[in-house]
Structure 1
Amino acid sequence: MPIPLRWRLLDERTGATLTDCAVVDGLFVDRVFPPEPLYERYTLSSCAPTGPLLAAVDGTGPAWFGNFVLEGAHVPGRPVDGGCGAGCQDCDEIVEELLDVRVVGHRPAPGGPGLLDIDLEGHRRDNDNNRGGAVPPAVFGYRLSAWSTANGSIEGTPAGECADITGLFHERPDAWPPGPPLTLLGCRPGLNRSIEAELAHVRVDGTVHPMSWGQRVFGTVVAVRPSILGNDLVDITTDARIPEPLAATDRPLWDMWHAGGPTGPNLWAKLDRSGRYLWVRAAAVHRRHAPDKPADTVYHLDGRYVTDYDAFYCAIGEAVNGPGGWFGGDLFWLHENAATGDGGATPGFRLIWHNSEVARSHLVSGYDRKSWLPVVTFDDLVRHLTGDGVQLELR
């Protein structure tokens, strides 16, 4: 029986097929998605708190206030360039965001009367600013702001200034490090050179679905030998590592899509929210591009299982494009598909949302510890859909 060659390497520059393989060993790793954040202790030094930070310190407000932003502050009397002190980097490079933050202590600061040293607990948003948070920026103190979750707002509220922060700038392990060196098993043809390739998933029907930048293959062939899978195939050892490997929990979903995709609606309903996010991501890779359906098409969203934000995208994807369908996975792509088309439905379409009370009762205001942002509520989704011209009927 022929061995299915389910992965394809496409030349980064030309798109030509470099090789087809049965297995990419190192693509799936034994990790849990999403990774647990690393909570840390920070100290704001010589701080003059205002607003929500002052309220957290003096007990007139909650100790927890969601997200916390630090921006480089200028020193009075120095030239100001975009709010930064003379000689500092562009402000975009010095902004740091702390997530799920609470005040855990405070005391008088030696820097002057009325100033405080304030201890925070939270974790840093993973980004490239300040060399991934490893090196303090060249600034003269920080302006502070807190993000309110009231009414879904993400507007910053001024929270004071401080002279410095300790505990923030240091080396950290990668939250989701690259995978191990890849071994391509059961390949045809072999490779004997450096690789700069896009990885694509090949389904049983022969359709080819390129994956994202995070799964591209850049490296060098180390060895080629007859495959352990036989059938005149070869195994290719490389020094390439997948920048963003897939979680082991992803594998059953990819096996399902390889075999033809979901065989009926709501197969995602039994998954937890992380699994539903992975479902939407796999659906995006495996979407089949086709002209938008006629303008008079009516779509029915089965709302019985829309108990979280990612469930909504599972459900609307299936409403528009059938089992396993994709119609966006965040507000940006929901807008792009609903307002401009190319997602399967002609803009201005009619959508009947059945059992909408389920989402209304679950998607309520609060703080989302998946996105680390205020929750996208049921009312937010309704406002976005209707604002993009969708004829929405709630039942």
Structure 2
Amino acid sequence: MIPTVHEDRADDSHARYTLTDAEDGHVWGVCASADGLFGEPRRGTYELFGWVPEVADPRGWVGSRVWLVPDDEACDPWLLEDAESLGRLPGTDSLVLTGLDDYEGPPEGHRASVRVHDGHRWLGSCREFSRILPDAGARPPLVLRGLAQSDRLRAALTKGTRRALNLEQAALEIHDDQGERLTERLFWSQVRSWRASSDGAGLIDLELDGETITPVPAYVRSVWELWLAGPPDTLGAWAGLDTRRREVWLDLVRERAFRRPRPDRPAGHAYELDGRHTTDEPGLYLALGEAVNGPGGYFGGCLAALDDCLSGTFGYTAPATLLWRDAATAQGHLSKALTADGEPRNLFAEVLEVLAEGGMHVTLA
């Protein structure tokens, strides 16, 4: 008997991966393993000529949001996300930075001086920069192994035309061991090939074109693995993570919050925040989320989102009180931040202001 996935999803609740049509939610198939999901996304690479550091030369991961601020005020700052430094280019006075630059990224080059900061401190300056063309090597395919296919996918494979094998925009849902959706990845899906799978009779290994799929960065895997057994049941399970991985954790709690809304507590509730680990911005929002909604809880990931959460439907009703323990940790790490254009900002004070405006009376301890 050929395994079949039904459109009502009744048979896919405990599959690790579910491939769906992003437009109508139809399930193309479910499987237990996927090859090619993790990798290195294509990154913009920039040579910063005449690099003059203001701190020690950055090496390795620099920050989630690194800004290039031109001295010419007629231009807005440019953003590199998830930026890494490859260090000095041998035999030159240049520093090489890489990052994700699809949206607000720098232009191909800029022939005037630019200062660089990571949202907290100035890293240095350069006299000009230029984008280095990346290696356009082929991306490996995404292979869904042991896939139980739906009737609709089986019909498309049987037809076999290029149009039939174009599955349009698809969502690959990743589920935890209890069958709850952990996260998903969207991409344009083109079937390259398929073959009978060694994982069971009637199952197939489905190969999708990797050129339209952005791989999940390898560092994300370790955080996802912490969640695959289920959501955290203790406070501060994220505390030992670095900033980069805390942001992955924050993404997961944000996604879960919008799928599983919590009932608002009555007004007058007293909350308590453990501030020992609020050494960076994601840590601040993770601690705040747990203070309001318990382990794995969400209560904003930026000032605008925090303001939305204070308006209701995220476990809170104004007015209420918050005892912020070890507040000096956040105050010491987040009071001296920088805006995109490099102006000083006090993120700690801004968070307190938003909380106060939302009816949360905060006591610092």
TM value normalised by structure 2: 0.68
- Give 1:10's aligned amino acid: T
Give me the whole-angstrom Cα distance separating, in 1, the residues matched to 2:94 and 2:225. 44
Query: Quick one: distance in 2 between partners of 1:305 and 1:210?
Result: 25
**2:170 maps to 1:197:** yes
Aligned pair partner of 2:349 in 379, 389, 393: 379
SS of structure 1 residue aligned to 2:336: coil
Residues 364 and 375, structure 1, Cα contact 8 Å, conserved in 2 = yes
AA partner of residue 233 (structure 1): L
Q: 1:9, 1:23 → 2: CA distance? A: 12
One of 3, 15, 18 as aligned partner of 2:28: 18
Cα distance in 2 for residues equivalent to 1:147 and 1:40 = 10
> Does 1:252 pair with 2:222?
yes
Match of 1:220 in 2: 190
Report the 3-state secondary structure (helix = DSSP H, G, I; strand = E; otherwise coil) of the residue aligned with 2:330: helix
Conserved 8 A contact 1:182-1:241: no
| Equivalent residue number for residue 279 of structure 2 | 307
Instruction: Give, as a single letter, the amino acid of the residue that structure 2 aligns with 1:186.
Output: G
> 2:344 and 2:138 mapped to 1: Cα distance?
30
Structure 2: gaps (5+ residues): 1-10, 52-66, 84-92, 121-125, 158-164
- 2:265 counterpart residue number: 293
Q: 1:266 aligns with which of 236, 243, 267?
A: 236
Partner of 1:50: none
3-state SS of 1:304 partner: coil
Counterpart in the other structure of 1:9: 19
The unaligned stretches of length 5 or more in structure 1 are: 44-64, 73-93, 101-118, 153-164
2:314 to 338, 343, 348: 343
Give 1:29's match in structure 2, choosing from 22, 32, 39: 39
* CA RMSD, 1 decimal: 4.3
Q: Which of residues 332, 335, 346 in structure 2 aligns to 1:361? A: 332
Query: 1:186-230: CA deviations, max 9, x gaps?
Result: 22116332222122222333333553xxx3121211222222433
Q: Is the contact between residue 68 and residue 78 of structure 2 (CA under 8 Å) also seen in structure 1?
A: no
Q: Which residue in the other structure is 2:148 paired with?
A: 188
CA deviations on 1:223-277 (whole Å, 9 max, x unpaired) are 2222243364321011144654322222132223232111311111111121211
Tell which structure's C-alpha radius of gyration is larger: 1
Q: Deviations over 1:47-71 (max 9, x none)?
A: xxxxxxxxxxxxxxxxxx9833646
Structure 1 residues 373 and 242, CA, compared in 2 at 3 Å: closer, same or farther? farther
Deviations along 1:32-82, whole A, 9 cap, x unmatched? Answer: 9xx897451279xxxxxxxxxxxxxxxxxxxxx98336466xxxxxxxxxx
SS of the residue corresponding to residue 200 of structure 1 reads strand
Q: Partners of 1:377 and 1:185 in 2: how far apart?
A: 46
CA contact (8 A) 1:23 1:185 kept: yes
| Displacement of 1:14 | 1.0
Of 22, 44, 48, which residue of structure 2 is paired with 1:40?
Answer: 48
TM-score (norm 1): 0.63
Distance 1:69 1:348 in 2: 45
- Residue-pair matches, total: 307
After TM superposition, the structure 1 = structure 2 runs for residues 92-131 of structure 1, keeping only pairs within 5 Å, are 95=76, 97=78, 126-128=101-103
1:156-184 Cα shifts (integer Å, max 9, x gaps): xxxxxxxxx9854545439xx99632111
Could you say what secondary structure the match of 1:326 adopts? coil
State the alpha-carbon separation in 2 of the partners of residues 302 and 347 from structure 1: 21
One-letter amino acid of the structure 2 residue matched with residue 181 of structure 1:
P
Q: Is the 8 A contact 2:109 2:129 kept in 1?
A: no
